[in-house]
Structure 1
Amino acid sequence: MENEIINSQETSEIKPSTDTLIVLNIHTNQIEMVKGVDQEGNLQKFPPEDKKENDQLIRVDKHGDIFSNFFSNFYRQLRNPFHFNFFKVSEYDAVNTAKDLQKYVDQASPEEKEKLKDYEVLPKNNNNPKNQNTMDNNTENQEYRFQPEQIDWKTMEKFGLNQEKLEKMNAMDSLLRGFKTNTLIPITINLGTAISKMDVRLSLQTGDTGQVAVHLHGIRKEPNFNNKFLGHEFSDKDKKNLKETGNMGRVVDLVNPKTDEIIPSVISRDRLTNELVAYRAEYMKIPDEIKGIRLDEHQKQTLLEGAPLYLEGMTSKKGESFDATVQFNADKRYVEFLFGNNQAPQQSRQHDQQQSQPTDKEAPRVFRGKELDDSQYEKFKAGQTIYIDGLQDAKGKAYQGYITFNKETSKTDFSFNNPNKLKEEAKPTEDYNTQTAVNSQGKTNEATKNVKEPLELKQQQPANKQQEDQQKKVRKPRGQKL
Structure 2
Amino acid sequence: MEDDIINSQEANEIKPSADTLIVLNIHTNEVEMVKGIDKEGNLQKFPPENNKENDQLIRVDKHGDIFSNFFSNFYRQLKNPTHFNFFKVSEYDAVSTAKDLQKYVDQASPEEKEKLKDYEILPKNNNNPKNRNSMENNTETQEYRFQPEQIDWKTMEKFGLNQEKLEKMNAMDALLRGFKTNTLIPITINLGTAVSRMDVRLSLQTGDTGQVAVHLHGIRKEPNLNNKFLGHEFTEEDKKNLKETGNMGRVVDLVNPKTDEIIPSVISRDRLTNELVAYRAEYMKIPDEIKGVQLDEHQKQTLLEGKPLYLEGMISKKGESFDATVQFNADKRYVEFLFNTNPSQQQNQQQTEQQNQSSTLARHTDKEAPRIFRGKELDDSQYEKLKAGQTIYIDGLEDAKGKAYQGYITFNKETSKTEFSFTNPNKLKEQAAASENHETQTAVNSQGKTKEATKNIKEPLESKQQQPASKQQEDQQKKVRKSGGRKL
Structure (1/2) with the larger helix percentage: 2
Bigger CA radius of gyration? 2
TM-score norm. by structure 2 comes to 0.49
Q: TM-score, normalised by structure 1?
A: 0.49
